[in-house]
Chains A and B, each alone.
Chain A
């Protein structure tokens, strides 16, 4: 779903790759998403992408599907969105971080832009909206957000906020606490910008896709060894037999273990924290 970006959204200002760049030469460092043709030319050139068993061919649609799946794996493994994603994240109030210029860090990096930073209650009432002008975007590439309202503090006229009447009381109440869960609500866009993926990220996508394809191809080779004897008219062939499938299963088991771990991380199930 497309997003209406507010006119006052806070962009990162500098690029994430190369980090903090504001201008470059004409060297290509970013490119569109890997295409089936590029996947073959970079990783699989010269390989017959055909099953020797039933002669079924890996066509462009199949390669595209491999790329699509590789993108999802890269997103899961690296926690970097290959394509931009807008998120609504709620982070806790931590007194120490609050006193360090509201130091907040999100898991999905880099941040492309911050649309809105608010204090929103559990019932969805927005009680304070941070002026985006106060938000420091210097470390958006690392997923770090700070609020540094130095300029407004010295200005003759302050920056207006949308704090409702109840907001001040809420802030005072919060001041007595050390930690409040889901306090800051951030609406932000993370990932690589549209139409631009670092070539090294494409490289990773291609490696994931190529490993999967090579694993499939390896499992299709039926003969382990073949020998012919000319004079005695003998011939012998050793096949992998069911071992062919075992190798493929081992590859898939490894992938399965990785994915299970990453999906658990995604839902907070990989680490159990308790006070018992």
Chain B
């Protein structure tokens, strides 16, 4: 298997969400990032590619949102918001989090501490609207 993930937006329930190429976040606002784990070794020619990946029970997912400033890097445990679809994970973003744009790094401990460690990356998965877009 080749673990990857997709950003989900407009998530209401397991039957109502949209795939997005990136997560649009407004700087310094509380928000929730939803991702779906996918296995890219299946449905390679599909749009979107891959099929959802349901990890084993007791699995944990840690999501890292980067920054050039190590003090602003956010590394947070994700939770499974829907028991009926364990491929979907949610990360709570606090209004004080001030990470940068770029990749979303995902670490899956598949099957719990004794299970298999897997990694995934959503390239340029985060897009952030700055608080002060007048100058840079």
| Interface residues in chain A, defined as those with a beta carbon under 8 Å from any beta carbon in chain B | 2-5, 15-18, 21, 23-33, 35-37, 57, 59-61, 63-64, 67-68, 83-86, 189, 192-198
Complex Cα distance, B5 from A175, in Å, reads: 59
- How long is the Cα–Cα vector from A129 to B40 in the complex, in angstroms? 50
Chain A residue at minimal CB-CB distance from B135: A15
Segment with Cβ contacts to A, from B29-37, B77-85, B126-134: B126-134
- B95 part of interface (Cβ distance < 8 Å): no
Chain B residue numbers with a CB within 8 Å of A195 are 27, 100-101, 128-130
Which of B47, B123, B135 counts the most A-chain CB atoms under 10 A from its CB? B135
Bound CA–CA A15/B102 (angstroms): 22
Rounded to whole angstroms, the CA-CA distance of A194 and B127 in the bound complex is 11
B41 CB to nearest A CB, Å: 16
Q: Which residue of A lies closest to B129 (CB)?
A: A32
Name B's A-contacting residues (CB within 8 A): 20-22, 24, 27, 47-49, 66-73, 100-102, 123-124, 127-130, 132-136
Assembly CA distance A21 to B20 (angstroms) = 35
| Contact yes or no, A31 B68, CB < 8 A | no
List 6 additional A-B contacts (Cβ < 8 Å) besides A57-B47, A192-B136: A5-B69, A5-B71, A17-B136, A64-B123, A64-B124, A83-B102
Instruction: Please measure, in the bound complex, the distance between the C-alpha atom of A18 and the C-alpha atom of B129, giving whole angstroms.
Output: 18
Question: A29 to B136, Cβ gap below 8 A?
Answer: yes
B67, A64: Cβ atoms closer than 8 Å: no
For A196, the closest partner residue in chain B by CB is B136
CB-nearest residue of chain B to A37 = B21
- CA–CA, A67 and B134, complex, Å: 23
Jot down 5 A-B pairs with beta carbons below 8 A, ordered by A: A4-B71, A17-B136, A21-B135, A35-B22, A193-B136
